[in-house]
Amino acid sequence: MTTTRPQVTTEIPAVPLTTEGYSVLHQMMRFRWPSWRALAAAEKSAIAQEASAALSAMEKHSPGQSALYSLIGHKGDLMLIHFRESFADLNQAELQIANLRLSDYLEPTTSYLSIVELGLYDSTLKIYKELTDQGIEPHSDQWKAEIECKLNRHREAMRPRLYPEIPSNRYACFYPMDRRRGEEKNWYKLPIEERARQMNDHGLVGRRYAGEVRQIITGSIGFDDWEWGVDLFADDPLVFKKLIYEMRFDEVSAVYALFGQFYVGVRVPAASLETLLEGKLP
């Protein structure tokens, strides 16, 4: 007697699988220089030393770290990047900064909340095909259990990428982005196979810059105003321009990408904060 697999009656899901790691918060701030200059030298030194000690501990925090950057341009003076295990931990980092006396001289200009994300387009197609070939109905309890089992294995294999240290490079570039939807082009209406092909081509460009730049992608759908955040870290800021310009010419960027504001900063070790507040880049 021949056993026939049950027929799957539902189309495979359009949503690609993802794995998530650290929660991430970017804080951009303007420094109130006129008020700061009005302080006595001894008071400025005491405030700076208190903040430096707190930020030094946050730099070494585990799991997850914080890093300080001196922003270039009019969009702010300082940028803090926090990697933590949860949103609650990020909020605690915010509160630590807010309770420093230095915060009296900091004016938030914007912030960005997201979570480290690895997109799994290629793996998604393979997993979905494998499960549908077995006759497992999409979205069923068995489907969900099988996918979670496979994602758990992926999380363990990709743990260093999901829970990275903040790179120590001299420069950082952060920007948010969306995929286009509406008008004549809509990324979310493309078949998952076509999105996978385009994302693979897009990734090939980034891999050509391995060793020159470190890229960390974070997902922010449901968390902030854009859909993803991108952090680039390098010792030569020119590589930011070259990488992003080259990516503009691949299909997924040329047709479907929308970009927010760019923030570029110089890394400032917490121990050098007082030097920075004296108006000198360490």
Catalytic pick from 175, 209, 256, 263? Answer: 175
Q: Residue 279 and residue 271: Cα distance in Å, rounded?
A: 15
In a domain, 262, yes or no: no
Q: Per the structure, how many domains does the chain have? A: 1
175 is catalytic: yes
At residue 182, the pLDDT reads 73
In a domain, 87, yes or no: yes
In a domain, 270, yes or no: no
CA distances from 240 to 3, 76, 220, 230 (A): 57, 19, 22, 11
In a domain, 279, yes or no: no
| β 257-259/171-179 pair status | antiparallel
The domain that holds 52 is classified in CATH as: 3.30.70.1030
In a domain, 163, yes or no: no
In a domain, 47, yes or no: yes
In a domain, 155, yes or no: no
Taking only the tens of pLDDT, the chain with its 282 residues reads: 444 555 555 678 889 999 999 999 999 999 999 999 999 999 999 999 999 999 999 999 999 999 999 999 999 999 999 999 999 999 999 999 999 999 999 999 999 999 999 999 889 999 999 999 999 999 999 999 999 999 999 999 999 999 999 999 999 999 999 988 777 888 888 888 889 888 888 777 777 877 889 999 999 999 999 999 999 999 999 999 999 999 888 888 888 889 999 999 999 999 999 999 999 998
Q: Which range of residues forms the domain containing residue 82?
A: 21-116
In a domain, 2, yes or no: no
At residue 7, the pLDDT reads 54
Q: Which structure tokens are listed for 63?
A: 């799991």
At residue 10, the pLDDT reads 62
